[in-house]
Every structure is written in C-alpha cells, then in structure tokens.
Structure 1
Amino acid sequence: MGSRRAGLRACLRAPPEEAQEADRDGLRGTSRSESAHDREDPQRRRPPETVAAHPRGSRRHALRREWLALSLVLLALVGWWSSGGALRRLDHLVNDLAMRARALPASSDIVLIAIDDKSIEAIGRWPWRRALHAQALAQISAQQPRAVALDVLFGEPDADYPGDDLLLAQALRQSARTVLPVARRGSQASSSVDAPLPQLRAAAAQLGHVQVAVDEDGVARRLFALEGPAQAPWPHIGTALLCAAGQLRPACRGNAAPAQGPWESLQPRTVTFTGGAPAFVRYSYVDVLKGRLPPQALQGKWVLVGATAVGLGDLFAAPAGLHSERIPGVEWMAHALHAELAGAWVWPAGSSASLLFNLAPVAAALLGMAVLGPLAGLVACALLALGVLAAMALVPALAGWQLAGTPALAGIALAYPLWSWRRLNAAARFLQLQMQSLQEEVPLPAPLPARASLYSDALERRIATVEEASSRLRRLHHFVSASLQHLPSPTLVCDAGGRVLLANVAAQQHFQGRFTPPLTGMEMDRLLGDLVGADDGLALPAQRTWAEGSAAAPAEGRDGQGRDVLLLRQPYLLDGSAIWLVTLVDLSDMRRAQHQRDQALHFISHDVRAPVASIITLLEMHRAFPKRMPQEQLLARIERQAQASLALAQDFVRLAAAQAESYRHEPFDLLHTLHQALEDAWAAAAARQVRLELQSSEEAAPFTGDPGRVQRAVANVLGNALKFSPRGAAVHCTLQAEAGFWCIAIRDQGPGVDPQQQERIFEPFRRLPNQPEAGGAQAGGVGLGLAFVRAVVLRHGGQVRVQSSFGEGAQFELWLPQAGATKKAAPAMGRAPPADL
C-alpha cells in the first residue's frame, strides 16, 4: 500500500509521460525530472540507463535467478541424501517413534520357553545334554501346541553322549511340528550353512533361518523373508512355524538338505514390533522339565524355545520406543512371528518413490516461499514438514510402505533460512539503492536529528536510514494530503472504474445535501449524474472516459442546483491502470458577474445614453430652428432628461455600493426610519392623490445596521407602490415582530405582479413587461430599485418577499432580524395579512 501511495504522489507531481516513466521504474520512483543544475548544464545529465540501472523488473529477474539457483542446489542435495542414505539414522529414529504409535498389541498366542539364568543355575552350565532337550520337547508336545521352534543349533554330533542325538531325533519325529534353525556361518557371499545334523534335520518338520538384518545404527529392525543358498533359500523361522502348523506357503521347504550356491538375502521386510510389558507369555525351561507349567498352557500356542540368559545366545539392540534396550534372539523371532500372523510387515519404499517423496515437499516449500510472504512461507514450510512426518507415520500403517523422509525435512529446514538470507541480502542492497535514488531524485524536507545507537551493523544502519526516509516521506505525504484537502476547488481522485479514492473538504461541501459524506467508494458517474453540458445538454462525463485513461478536454456544464461548473479531468498511469484527478471549478460567480457586466454595458449603452442623446437632439434642433421651441420649454426638457440621467446614474451607483461596499453597524429604530421614509414620500403621494397609512403595535423597533441604506430600501418600495397605485388608492405600511424578525410590509392597490415574475423583479435591470403606471403610462426605470432593496436586506441577514396576484395589488415584505434574537428562518409566505389590510 505504501508503494502505491508513493507512486500516486509521484504521478500527481509529474506530467503524463513522466508518470508513465515513473510507473515503469516502480518503487524507485524514477522519473525524468531533473535538478536545476542539470537543466542548466545538459551535458551533465545522467543517461537513461543510469537512471534505470535497477528497475523493478531487473530486480525481480535477479531474485528469480537466485531462487532458481538455490532450488537446484537444494534439490540436488536432497536427492543425494535420499539416494546415498546419509541421513538414514535419522530416518530410523523417526520411524521408530512412529512405530511405537502403531505397535501391535501384546499376544497370548505366542509363548516363549526361556533358557534363562534360573534354568542355568538349576541344570548346570551350557551346553546341556540333548536328552534334556528331547525331554523338554516331549513335555511341550504333550500339550499339543500349534508349532514349536527350537532355537538351538545342533550342527555337530554329541561326542560324549551319542545316544542323545537319537533321543532328540525321536522326540522331533513324535512332535511332527518342530522347526529347527539354520544360520549363516561367516559374512562373505560364499559363506557356509550352519544346519542341524542330518538325522535331526530329517526328523524336523521344517527348517527356518534365524538371520537378523542390523541397520547402520546397530538396531535390528529388519529381516529377509528368504535367506540361504541361491538355489533354495530358507524362509524365516516365523514363516517356517506357519508351514509346520500346516499352512501352505510358497516359501515352505520342509526339511530338505541345504543346496549349493552363494548365500543370498531376498525380500527385505521391516518388523512391526509388539507392545506391552511383557509382549509375550514366558516360562522358564527348567519349569518345563519339571512339569510345573499350568495345564493346557501351551495348547494351541506358538512355542519358541531359546536362550535368554546373560552371555548365552544373541542379544539385539531394540528400536526406540520399546520397553527394553536389548532383545534376545528368541524374543526377536517372536516379534517377527507376530508380525507374520498379523500381516503387519512393512516394506521399504523403492528408490524412485523415496526420491520423489523427498523432492516434492522441498520443491513445494521453495515455491511457497517464492510466491507467499515471509510469514506465510514459514507457515507453509512448517505445514509441509508436519505433512512429511505424518506421511512417515501413517503410510506404513495404511499402505505397508516405509518412507525415508528426513532428507525432505532437512531440505525444508534449510530452504527457509537460505532463502531468507538471500532475500535479506537482496533487501539490504535494494534499501541501499533506494536510499541513493531518494537522496538524488526526491525533494524531501530536512531530516530529523539522528538517534544514537549502542551498536549497529550494516543492515541496522540501512534500516535506520530507510526508517528516517520513511518518516520524511510520511511528513511529505501529510503535507501533500493536507494541501489537497485544503484546495479551494472540489478535487477528487478516482480509479479506472470511476470509483472515488479520495475527496477533499471542498468536494464534501460541494456535494453536501445530495450525498452523505464521506464520498470515498462512490461512483463518479453517480456524483456527476446531474451535470449536463452547457451547449448540448448531454450528461458529462461518459462512463467510458474513466476506463480509457486518455486525456479529456475540459468541459463546462450546469448541475441540478443551477451552478455553472467547469470539469477538469487528468489521467495518470499507475501500475498500468488509470488514476484520474478530477477538479470541479464553480463558475457561477464568474458567470453571474459576466451577466451583470453585460447588463451594465446594456444599461450604459441604452438607458444612460438615451437621456444624453435626447439632450443633444434638443440642442441640435434649437440651433437649426431657434424659434420653433420657446427657451423655457427647451430648458425644462433638457433639465428633465438630465435629471433622469442623473437618477439612473445614482441608482446604478447605489446598487453597486450596496453589493460591494462595507456597511455601517449602528443601532437605530426601524419604526423611526419607516416614519422618515413616509414623510419623504408624502409630497409624491399627494401629487398622485394616494393616501399613506402606517399601522404598528410596537412603540419602538431597535435594530443594528446601516440606517441610510435601510431607509433608501424602504423608500424604493414605497416609490414603487406609489408609482403603480391608482388615484384615490391607499398604500398601507405595517411593522410588527414575528419569529425573531422585524417585518416591514408595504401593500399597494395597483395591478399586482404575475406570480411567475415575482422572483425576477428583484434582479438588476429587470422590468416587468408591459407594466403600466397609474394613469396608463408605461412604467419607467431600468429595474435597479428592487435589486437595491434585495441587496440591502440580504446584507443585513434578512429576506425580501412579495405576495401578490395579478390585478389585486402587491405586498412587499422586508424581514430583518431583531437585535440579540436567535436567527430563525422567516415564516413561510401565505400567512394572513393584518386585519386592516
């Protein structure tokens, strides 16, 4: 908003072509205006390319190039992180925390037979005799479990007790649902297989591998569905348990001998662990041997037998969120079996899907920061980061895919500060250029005193400089706004749609009565709807004028209140749109003065010249025919014409003085003034045989004003009444107080005034057409008497009215405000006259 106002100020100050140049230069406010020194020395003018060295368009292009470069670098970095696994540890941490929310509930269908410290203490050091394993397996099989996994490797024969191998093989055959483990010996591709003895393998129902995949952070989260020789890999021991229970699976291999070939790991899967403490039912191995298990404790259960004692068997690091930090191998297999039963495996997403998943939110964050503002861009980055986290947490549960989204989170985290840094750098440079431009081109008032600061860097100093310049611009704006508001002519600013943006005080007063202020937001065509051309009577202006933005010639018209108005319209281009400065000049006084001048010229050329011409004609006739007219008659006619010319001149001078000169303000008595006017008119009334009558219930009528002019105004009204009164008639005069006014009413019994002419008779040089005097003669005069009356009464704050019907006489009323009374509107015409009239 601030930039648009600055541009508007620049446009209002410059011609149209300079305003267009200022619009192209944008926020720099550059125009073709030159200093006085440059105008004096054209050789020292700056070339146009220097003035427009940093236009808004080039600044935007530079910023776009920086955004594009930053986007390419950041997206390439995110792609490298995604494909190279540089942030894999963070991915594991996020996925572990998400897995805790979707952990499987504790299961009572899976039972662990633990070779724990209690069993080691009761039975003795490891390894135990295989006869004990045969006895334990018989005890377990007696309760009819679904399947049993014996997680003990029997890769070598028992040299001390050879018969124990036969006992164990017999127990395996009797169970018919026992799975034995196979493992990988070594870490190379050509590693050998650590498999059970052939006789034990042949007695087992199924074989399953017990390999666990350890991630980069040392935590066991994954396994491979198939591992072993390439020609015939074994399923995981959990899948082998399902095969031993009679479920047909494609991976089931039974107890076939190991195949040849390099070791392969196929179909990686991430385990969804089981929550709860404990997650599975657990019994001690020694309790099984001694028959201490509850009856039917293992019936229909999945039983896994393995080592949990300290220093015996494998221990794996548990994912974050589980109740223990280390998990024995047999328990880890129980988690895998539970995930297999629940169908809760999670497969890692492919490289292409992971790359797309990481690049898309980073690209969206970069685009959002380029399009949105700083705060909205920050909010967009935060929402995108939350979206990535939500996808990492929900997609595994909904679709079974595990997403590695930390590269996207890192990219989003880097995008905002990096782009903010570039924006800040660009803003600092822009501020510096703008300040240089302002100091060179914009005439600003004197700066305020600099404020002291404990510390400041380059950006702080630039901000302080811009803050000072903004303060100076605000003061200049206030000055311009105040100047516009106090322009004497109504001035409005409107947009290309003809909607008012700004209206000064004079404009509010000009339209007062027709429209309720403020005028801001109103349509110009509505405001000027009653303005018609002085010549053609068509509405001004046409609606298309505002949208075209082309210069419009001044147009003169007349509004609904009868005012002559000159319409000035000047367009200015701002951001490719037209802004109109509209000024209304009230020509009513000037046109009225021109009309009065024309009337005065007509008066001088006709009415004043006529008596002088008559005098000259009489003198020429006397020279040519000296004896045709007696000298006394000639002198009488010359005197009569000279007196008429002098009377006209005096009336004209009195009217001009009444309209222009200052009035005296002194207290006097209106009743006494009325008496004097009647006395002065007595001789003329007697000559015309007209009676003068005065009636007033007031003993005095105090008034403050110019007594001489008021008496002359009353005398003019009396003179008109005597002029048009027939012989034997009466002229009635009354003075009374009413509604805070003194009302002087003079009524005659003459021919009256046509109602259509009653307002016009008070205009200068206005005479009623064919209005005869008493006795039948045509009425004389040039129409200045009543104009003088009206001017005097109005200058005293009063009103003059006439009440008449044609052929029934006329009553003229002079309403003058009483001294010290509250001024009110005079009563409406039509009130009943005094009873004696």
Structure 2
Amino acid sequence: MWSIARTRSLQRHIEWALLSAALLGLVVWLGTSLDRVNHIVQDAGLRWVARPTPDNIVIVAIDDASIAAIGRWPWRRALHAELISRISAQQPLAIGMDVLFNEEDLDYPQDDVLLADALSRSGRVVLPVLQRGHGPAADSSDLPWRTFADAAAGLGHVYVAPDPDGVVRSLYLSEGPAAAPWRHFSLALLCVAEPSAPPCSTREPTAQPGQAHPPSVQGNAWQRADRRLIAYGGGPGHFTTYSYIDVLRGQVPPTAFQGKYVLVGAAASGLGDMFATPVGHESRLMPGVEVVAHVLDSRLSGVRIDPASPVLNAAFNLVPVAVALVVLLLAGPLAGLLTCAGLAAATLLLSLALPAWAGLQFAPAGALAGLALAYPLWSWRRLSAAAHFLRLELDRLQREGLSLRLPDGASDSRDFLEKRINAVERASRHLRDLHHFVSESLQQLPTPILVCDPQGRILLTNAAARRHLGIMHPAANLQGESAVELLRDLVLPGTEQPLITHDTLRNRSLPRHTEARDAQERSLLVQCSPFTDLAQAGWLLTLVDLTEMRRAQLQRDQALNFISHDIRAPNASILTLLEMQRAYPGHLDCAELVQRIERYARKSLSMAESFVQLASAESQEYRREPVDLVALLAEAVDDLWALAKEHEVALVVTHAPEAANTLGDRGLLSRAVTNILHNAIKFSPAGGTVRCAILDRGKYWAVSVRDEGPGIAPEKQDQLFGPFKRLHERSHPGIAGVGLGLALVRTVVERHGGVLQVNSEVGQGAEFVLLLPVQA
C-alpha cells in the first residue's frame, strides 16, 4: 500500500511538472501575442496617471467657431502673423505653431513677409516638421519654407505612432534622417523656453539658401528612436483652450499666455489630424495639438512611463502563474481557486498601478490567461485521476469480496463521473453499515477493548472498556484520548514499570500477551495486536480480568496447603500415637491415649468445620430474616461465658439499645459475632476485660468488641482478614487457630452490605467493629 501511494504521488508530481512547463511556456508566448487584452489593461492603467489641469500650458484652437467667423481653411498668413504678435505680446515661454508652412504664398507674398517678421520678432515660435511621403521608406523631411524656418526659434517633428488598433499610445522623441534626426515638437518647445535643458545640447540641421532641405538630410534613411509611452494627463479637453478668433479679437485675459507654453493647432471637425487615445471618453478623438500638449505636460511634470523590458515582462507574467501552480499542487480545490482568483486580481491591480507608481507598463495578458487556464487544466487532470482511482478501488473492493453490484437507481445520470460518485456512495453506505455492525458487535463484547493509533490516540472503545476505566456515562466518547494516560496505572508485577508507553507503542515492542496489575489490584491479561496490514500500524488492546481466577487459584492453593498441612497434622499425630502404642504396649495408659486422640480429632474436626463454614459463607445463598443484634450479642456472650471464665477474662456488655434490628442470616451473623468474641478472649491476658457494645451510627448498627490483648501494628491490619493468616503465630504460639475466623467474619459482614473495621495499636489492645445496615 505504501508503494502504491508513493507511485501515485510520483505520477501526480510528474503530471504537474509537465503541465507547469507547458503552461509557463504558453504564458511567455501569450505575453506578446494578446495585444488586445494587453491594451485594455494598459489603457486603464494610463487613466490612473491622470493629473490636474496644468496652468502653464494653453491651447489656441482653430475650432469650428473660428472657421465660421473667418472662413474656410487655409487662412491668409497675415492672420497667423497677427495671432503670433498678440500672443508674443504677453511674453509666453514658447509658442508651438502646429501649422505647416512648407511653401511660399504666391497669391499673397506680402503675407509671408508679415509672418516671417512676426516669427522673427517673437523669437519663441516652434514650427513643425513632417516626413515626406508615407511609411518608413520615405527618406526626406517636409520642412517649413526656408524663410519661415530661418525666422522660427526651433523646429520639431509632430509624428505620433498609432498602434495597429489605431490608438495613439506612444511616440518617438527622435525622428528623421539617420544623420540628423529631429526632436519631437514638445522637446523643441522646451528647448526654446529652457535652452540649457539636457535634450537641447545638439543642434538640428538647417537648409542652405536655395535648398528645400539641408544637405545632410538628403539621401539618408528615415529613422525613429527613443520610443516613449504618452502619459496622458486626462481626456480630450483637458487643457485650458482659447478659440483662435477670440485671440484675434482680443477677447482673452491680458495674462492668458504670460509665462506659459502656447500651442496653436487645428481642432475643428474635418480639419487637421484627430487621434483615438486611451483616455478618450465615449470614442471622442483628440486633436494632434492636444496630444503634443500631453507630451509636454508629462515632461514638465516629470511623469514618465516606459514599457517593461521583455525579460522583466516575462518574469511579471511567470511568477503569479508559478505560485498558482505550486498552490494547486499542495492545497485543496477551494484554496487553489481562491489563490488563482487572488493572483489574477493582484496581477491586474499591479498592471494598473505600476505605471503611476514606478513608471513601468507591463503586458499582463499572459499571466491572466495562465491563471485562467491553470485551475481548470489541473482540475481536469485531478478529476480524471480521481475517476480512474475510484474505478480501480471499486474493482478492488469487488475482487476482495465486498458486494457492490447493486441495481442502478432510476435517477442515475449517463455522466461517467456521476456514475462513479453513485457507485462510491453505495460502497460507502455498504462500508458504513459494515462498520456499524462491527462497532455494535464490539460494544456487546464483555471484554474491554481499545483501538488506538501508533501515538496512543484512541480510535474506538466498547462499553466494557469504558466501565473498566470507571466511565459510567453510556454516551461518553473516548475518541482522541490518550491510551497511555488512561492505562498509566497498568504495571508489570515485580518491576512496577508501566506496560503501555509511547515508546512501546511507537516501536511496536509491546508483548502479544502479558499479565499486569492496575491501581485497584486487579490482575489483567493484556493482549496487544498490531494492525500489520496498514502502512502505519495501530493497536488493538484487549483487557481480560483475571482477578477472580487468580483469587480462586490462591484460595485453591491455600485450601491445598490447609488440607496437606493443618488438617493432615492432627491425623498424622493420631496415627503416630497408635503406632507407638502398638510398638510399645503399656507406654501410655489407655485413658491418656484416648484423651490425646480425642484432642487431635477435635482439632482436626474444628479446622475442617471452620473451612466448610468459610466456603459456605462465600458461596451459599443467604437466608434473609429479621435479626435483633442485641439478642444475638447476648446469646454469644452467654455461649462464651465458660471460655472467658477458663481464661480468667471478664466479658461485659457496656452499652446496648433495647433492640437493634437488621436483615440477614441469623446463623452466619451469630457465627461472625462469636468468632470476634472468641478471638478477643483468646488474646486477652488473664485478669483482662473484653468490652462489648452496640451503637447507633445512622444507617448502621455498630457491634463493637474491644480486648486488652497485644494489639496489631497498623501496617499488618490489612492482612488480618485473609484466610489462613495468623499474625501472632510467633509472638503467641500457644494460641491455637488456623486463621479462618476473621476471614469468615469479613465475608459475612460484606455480604450483608456492611463493613468490618479494626482499630488497634501495638500493646494497646484491639477493637473490631461490625457495621451492619439498620432494618426497621
């Protein structure tokens, strides 16, 4: 069984390792493939970096109101010159004119002069640069007309890089011919306002007179570099915006542009470039000039978001999936499900929060897909393995004789798993019935039985075991209790060492059969049977009470000793006298011979009679009848008066009520009182007094007999009432007896529901008290 379990565990770990390898590989691939899912999460994360509306960036929009007031586009360049002059009058930091002036105006050449003059006088205007043609194969720049380029404070490209879904999420800070790329429009504005800024250390290429483009740019492949994610501060309309026509009319505050970056660009419907952005609400598009404003705002605010490196992104996706796989291997289904859900939520929250917290953007689609697949895939494998295991176990139970061929219920499903479950339910019900039958049978056994595990924890007990342990409540449950503690007083005779310990249970060193003794002086045969067919063997402990058998054996041995020695001795003396008389006639006269034979015969008869009386007192049914203890004591005193006279002992009754009624066998009670009085007389010295009394002690009558004999040491008083015990055989050898009198007294008193007490000290006499129940 142990090897089967190990094989099953090894197979489970191999399956888990293969599934983990396949799933982790899939996660790495999906991390770069599920762009749509990644964009959904990343766009939500970009919304978390929203910022308040900045007060240092202003947009002048060529909007629908301006088109309606001025006329259709394009407008005359004299209007743009006027706009630049009005804005420059308020001393802005920089002006970004996101309008392309790539050729001269042949219809109104004087307007070009006005515009060039306005650009030159302002000294803060940045003009845009575009790539001529389409696609990365185009290799030339579409620059402003040379006069305007010379008059402008700077040039910058305004190209953005839409993703395949058409949403603008990033741009290139450097774009243009490989020999001399252009800065982004926002960086050009920053360099105009702060020429000493780090990105402003290089100069852009300039065209020579008569050339549309600088010679260093001609013939160079177009390149883009330094891709950056756009940290949008808000949705469309996030910045302070003034209408173009309002600026021309002077309908703006006098400090609207002072110390600010001013961006001029198209925002009218159907005019200019409009882009879909991650922060666009309700599919609203954002003008290109506002995209530039967001890039400039993030630069000024120090907010930067970079896409995570491929290695870091792969680790970000692999770690939660690996943790989920480990939990699925070690924990249960519910814990695995909760872990997968928690890790997915944590991955999603981190993906949303890390752009704002750390400036890193991850692609979590691989991790989310892996976490979504880990639980069902592993559950499928475990479910398949469980169904296979159930089928094998049911087949094995049937092969081993457990009948499970029960008719299918009408409600059985055609689903194979439900069929397995129904079969296991029937098998479990069968096993429960069998367990109930075994348990009930065990409860009916009269022998105490305990079933425990190798650590001594009790698994099952029967009613006899609970009674043996002194637990009388029928519903008491000892399951989980320690058998070592409950049986700690069970010791080996002679060594007094505990029989059942944690070490002997764990090491399986308990003897199969051994005899022990408990604190109640019970002799017990302990049978210890290990469950050798289990991987971790338990123990079946059976306690057989041998106390009565050992007592019977002791009584038998005592009886044999009595017969072989005490009764045999007088008879042997008689035979010796007869042989001496036959061998030496006349050695003893006839009278003395008869007298000695008679004495030995009476002694033998007396011992036999005492033995028979004790045996009868222990085994026969008592005849219950009302008995007056006062009268019974008086009769015993009268019967022994002659003996007391012979021993020169006074026999007196010091106290007695008028009547002391009890219920019992009069003959045996009389014999018990007579034996006590007889012993008191025998052990009292000449001239002594034996005092008798009957006292009322509530539920008992106390028949007291006190002598003035040698007394009994306290440590020997427990031996007084055993059969054939003569404690004064050495100190008073002249006092005859075989040690059966007090044994008979104790037996009679206890069988009448009473108690026999002794109070004595050495040299101070002894008092025997017979406590017998009061009977009205």
Structure 2 length-normalised TM: 0.88
Question: What residue in structure 2 maps to residue 122 of structure 1?
Answer: 69
Matches within 5 A, 1:287-326: 287-320=246-279, 322=281, 325-326=284-285
Q: Which sits farther off after the overlay, 341-350 or 115-124?
A: 341-350
Q: What's the offset of the Cα at 1:699?
A: 2.3
Give the alignment partner of residue 719 of structure 1, picking from 670, 678, 681: 678
Distance 2:457 2:769 in 1: 48
2:39 is aligned with 1:67 = no
Equivalent position amino acid for 2:19 in 1: L
Q: Deviations over 1:669-706 (max 9, x none)?
A: 22333333334434545665655434554222221222
Partner Cα separation in structure 2 for residue 539 and residue 461 of structure 1: 53
Could you tell me how far apart the structure 1 residues matched to 2:560 and 2:695 are? 41
SS of aligned partner of 2:165: coil
Q: Once the two structures are superposed, what CA deviation does each residue of 1:209-250 show, in whole Å capped at 9, x if it has no partner?
A: 111111132211111111122222211111111122243424
The residue number in structure 2 matching 1:650 is: 609
- How many angstroms does 1:311 deviate by? 0.8
Post-superposition offset of 1:527: 6.6
User: Which residue of structure 2 lines up, in the alignment, with residue 89 of structure 1?
Assistant: 36
Structure 1 letter corresponding to 2:701:
W
How far the C-alpha of 1:115 sits from its partner, in A, is: 0.9
Which residue of structure 1 lines up, in the alignment, with residue 225 of structure 2? 266
2:60 aligns to what? 113
Q: Which residue of 1 aligns with 2:183?
A: 235
Cα 1:200–1:575 shift into 2, 3 Å: farther
Taking the aligned partners of 1:573 and 1:587, their CA distance within structure 2 comes to 28
Match for residue 281 of structure 1? Answer: 240
Whether the aligned pair in 2 keeps the contact of 1:225 and 1:268 (CA below 8 Å) is yes
Q: Is the 8 A contact 1:234 1:251 kept in 2?
A: no
Q: Is the aligned partner of 1:253 residue 2:209? A: no
The one-letter code of the counterpart of 2:342 is L
- Post-superposition shift, 1:495? 6.1
**DSSP 3-state at the match of 1:298:** coil
Q: Tell me, yes or no, if the aligned pair for 1:100 and 1:322 is still in contact at 8 Å.
A: no
Match of 1:365 among 305, 324, 329: 324
CA distance in 1, matches of 2:291, 2:502: 83
Letter in 1 for 2:52: P
Separation in 2, partners of 1:319, 1:277? 10
Distance in 2, Cα, partners of 1:547 & 1:804: 50
Counterparts of 1:244 and 1:323 in 2: how far apart (Å)? Answer: 36
For the Cα contact (< 8 Å) 1:495–1:501, is it kept in 2?
yes
Q: CA RMSD in A?
A: 3.5
Q: Does the 8 Å contact 1:115/1:307 carry over to 2?
A: yes
C-alpha change, 1:646 and 1:449, in structure 2 (3 Å) is farther
Deviation at 1:511, TM superposition (A): 6.5
Deviation at 1:405, TM superposition (A): 0.8
SS in 2 for 1:211: coil
Using the alignment, how far apart are the partners of 1:650 and 1:610 within structure 2? Answer: 16
Counterpart in 1 of 2:637?
Answer: 678
The worse-fitting range, judged by mean Cα deviation, of 808-817 and 558-567 is 558-567
* Shift, 1:563, TM fit: 5.0
- The whole-number CA distance in structure 2 between the counterparts of 1:751 and 1:344 is 112
What residue number does 1:221 align with?
A: 169
Write the deviation string for residues 759-793 of structure 1: whole angstroms up to 9, x where unpaired.
Answer: 323211111334788xxx81222111111011111
SS of residue paired to 2:31: helix
Choose from 432, 452, 457 the match for 2:415: 457
Q: Does 1:164 align with 2:120?
A: no
Going from structure 1 to structure 2, the CA distance change for 1:707 and 1:242 (only over 3 Å counts) comes to same
8 Å Cα contact 2:49/2:355 also seen in 1:
no
Question: Counterparts of 1:508 and 1:181 in 2: how far apart (Å)?
Answer: 98
Query: Does 1:796 pair with 2:744?
Result: no
> Is contact 1:498–1:546 with CA below 8 Å preserved after alignment?
yes
**For residue 674 of structure 1, what is the amino acid of its counterpart?**
L
Structure 2: gaps spanning 5 or more residues: 208-212
- Tell me if structure 2 keeps the 8 A contact 1:204–1:255: no
1:313 CA drift (Å): 0.8
TM superposition shift of 1:118: 1.0
- The share of aligned pairs that are identical, in percent, is 50
Alignment partner for residue 424 of structure 2, among 445, 448, 466? 466
1:290-332 CA-partner distances (Å, limit 9, x unpaired): 2222212111111111111111111111214657621111112
Of 803-812 and 184-193, the range deviating more from structure 2: 803-812
Partner of 1:706: 665
Quick one: structure 1 residues 435 and 251, their matched pair in 2 at CA, closer, same or farther if it must change by over 3 Å?
farther
- Residues of 2 paired with 1:431 and 1:306: CA distance? 74
Residues 394 and 424, structure 2, Cα contact 8 Å, conserved in 1: yes
Cα deviation code 1:163-197 (max 9, x no counterpart):
32232222222222111111223333222432222
Q: Which secondary structure does the structure 2 equivalent of 1:107 belong to?
A: coil
Does residue 1:199 correspond to 2:147, yes or no? Answer: yes
Distance 1:463 1:804, change over 3 A: same
Would you say 1:331 and 2:290 are equivalent positions? yes
Contact 1:549 1:572 in 2 (8 A): no
The structure-2 alpha-carbon separation of the partners of 1:320 and 1:484, relative to structure 1 and needing over 3 Å to count, comes to: farther
Secondary structure (helix, strand or coil) at the match of 1:227 reads strand
Post-superposition CA distance 1:449-483 (Å, at most 9, x none): 98764756322232233334334444555565666
Distance 1:371-1:321 versus aligned 2 partners, 3 A rule: farther
Aligned to 2:718: 759
Tell me the distance in 1 between the aligned counterparts of 2:348 and 2:532. 50
Q: TM-score when scaled to structure 1?
A: 0.82
Deviation at 1:124, TM superposition (A): 1.0
Other structure's SS at 2:720 match:
helix
SS class of match (2:775): coil
Distance 1:727 1:306 in 2: 145
Gaps of 5+ in 1: 1-21, 26-54, 821-837
| Letter of the structure 2 residue corresponding to residue 214 of structure 1 | P
Q: Does 1:819 align with 2:775?
A: yes
Q: How far does residue 628 in structure 1 lie from its aligned partner after superposition?
A: 4.8
Match in the other structure for 2:210: none
- Matched residue, 2:387: 428
Q: Who is 2:122 aligned against?
A: 175
Alpha-carbon separation, structure 1, partners of 2:271 and 2:717: 129
Is it true that 1:598 corresponds to 2:547 in the alignment?
A: no
Would the alpha carbon gap of residues 390 and 754 (structure 1) be closer, same or farther in structure 2, given more than 3 Å must change? closer
Q: Which moved more, 1:699-708 or 1:471-480?
A: 471-480
Change over 3 Å in CA distance of 1:574–1:279 after alignment to 2: farther
Give me the whole-angstrom Cα distance separating, in 2, the residues matched to 1:700 and 1:366. 92
Summarize the Cα distance change of 1:551–1:740 in structure 2 as closer, same or farther, 3 Å threshold. closer
Compared CA separation, residues 279 and 485, structure 1 to 2 (3 A):
same
Cα distance in 1 for partners of 2:18, 2:681 equals 102
Mapping 1:683-698, distance limit 5 Å: 684-685=643-644, 692-698=651-657
In 2, Cα distance between the equivalents of 1:574 and 1:211?
80
1:388–1:405 CA contact under 8 A, matched in 2: yes
Report if aligned partners of 2:126, 2:152 keep a CA contact under 8 Å in 1: yes
Q: AA paired with 1:218?
A: G
Find the aligned partners of 1:229 and 1:755 in 2 and give their Cα distance: 121
Q: Which amino acid aligns with 1:791?
A: T
The letter for the 1-side match of 2:578 is L
Q: Assess if the C-alpha contact under 8 Å between 1:240 and 1:252 holds in 2.
A: no
Structure 1: distance between partners of 2:452 and 2:414: 44
